[in-house]
Amino acid sequence: MTLLSVAEAGELVSLLGRNGAGKTTTLRAIAGAAEPQVIGGSIRFDGDELLGTPPYEIAGRGISFVPEDRRCFPRLSVVENVRLAINHAEDPKDLETVLDFFPELSEMREKHARNMSGGEQQMLAIARALAANPRLMLLDEPFEGLAPYIVRRIEDIIAEINEEQDIAVLLVEQNVAAALAVAGRHYVLDEGRIAESASTERLREDEEMRQRYLGV
């Protein structure tokens, strides 16, 4: 049974669910970092099965994962953080191409990640994922804990990555408004399983569904 599919390269899909619904576990299973059987069924990207693929093959398939904790190296600078991602990738973008995409980061090339704001660190985490030159980017709650104006900036960055670079995005969120603003299609996760699949229009209009699964 296909639970979730990101059909075309370049699609932007959200995976919504309240606290503890199993969003991170699902992403970790896709990234090969958790047991696939916790999810069951099938998760497909561009026709390929993602569940059960070992982590080293995930990168080869062009999938980058931006985890919940943003995982930048705190004692390394912006440039050093991006360089490390480049060094670990099979077919990376070059440093200047990545930094050109993030004017804010270009202006703080030597700043250490630990001295950066949450929003700047989130940009750096996305920059690191972009450096790997992915076809699909997995983002785990990128807006969490960020001020509204940074949320809007990161929404724009994600939309640009999707539209201008033709990279598919699977965005995990509890922030329904942000997911509605950027994603075209949505899956709703409840107790570890996909309970609903909805267009942006339906998610916006179906208050009963939003209340039941998302509490908003």
State which of positions 178-197 bind Mg ion (CB under 5 A). Answer: none
Which residue has its beta carbon closest to ligand ATP? 192
Where do the H-state alpha helices sit in 16-117? 23-30, 55-60, 78-88, 95-100, 103-106
Residue 22 near ligand ATP by CB under 6 A: yes
CB of 74 to Mg ion, least distance (A): 21
With CA atoms as reference, report the closest residue to 27 among 82, 64, 62, 1. 64
Decide if 30 contacts 50 (C-beta within 8 A). Answer: yes
* Residue 38 binding: pick among Mg ion, ligand ATP, none (C-beta 5-8 Å cut-off by kind): ligand ATP
Out of 23, 93, 128, 210, the only residue in the binding site for ligand ATP (CB under 6 A) is 23
Residue 106 near ligand ATP by CB under 6 A: no
Decide if 104 contacts 156 (C-beta within 8 A). Answer: no
CB of 124 to ligand ATP, least distance (A): 21
Give the C-alpha separation, 159 to 180, whole Å. Answer: 12
Q: Any residues with CB less than 8 A from the CB of 30 and at least 6 apart, and which? A: 43, 50, 51, 58, 63, 65, 138, 170
Residue 25 near ligand ATP by CB under 6 A: yes
* Residue 20 binding: pick among ligand ATP, Mg ion, none (C-beta 5-8 Å cut-off by kind): ligand ATP
Residue 20 near ligand ATP by CB under 6 A: yes
Cβ distance to ligand ATP smaller for residue 59 or 194: 194
Cβ distance to ligand ATP smaller for residue 51 or 130: 51
> Number of H helices and number of E strands within the chain?
10, 9
* Residue 21 binding: pick among Mg ion, ligand ATP, none (C-beta 5-8 Å cut-off by kind): ligand ATP
- 173: amino acid identity, one letter: E
With CA atoms as reference, report the closest residue to 173 among 16, 1, 13, 9. 16
Decide if 49 contacts 42 (C-beta within 8 A). Answer: yes
State which of positions 75-104 bind Mg ion (CB under 5 A). Answer: none
Question: Would you tell me which residues interact with Mg ion (CB under 5 A)?
Answer: 23-24
Note the residues at the interface with ligand ATP (CB under 6 A).
17, 19-25, 38-39, 174, 192
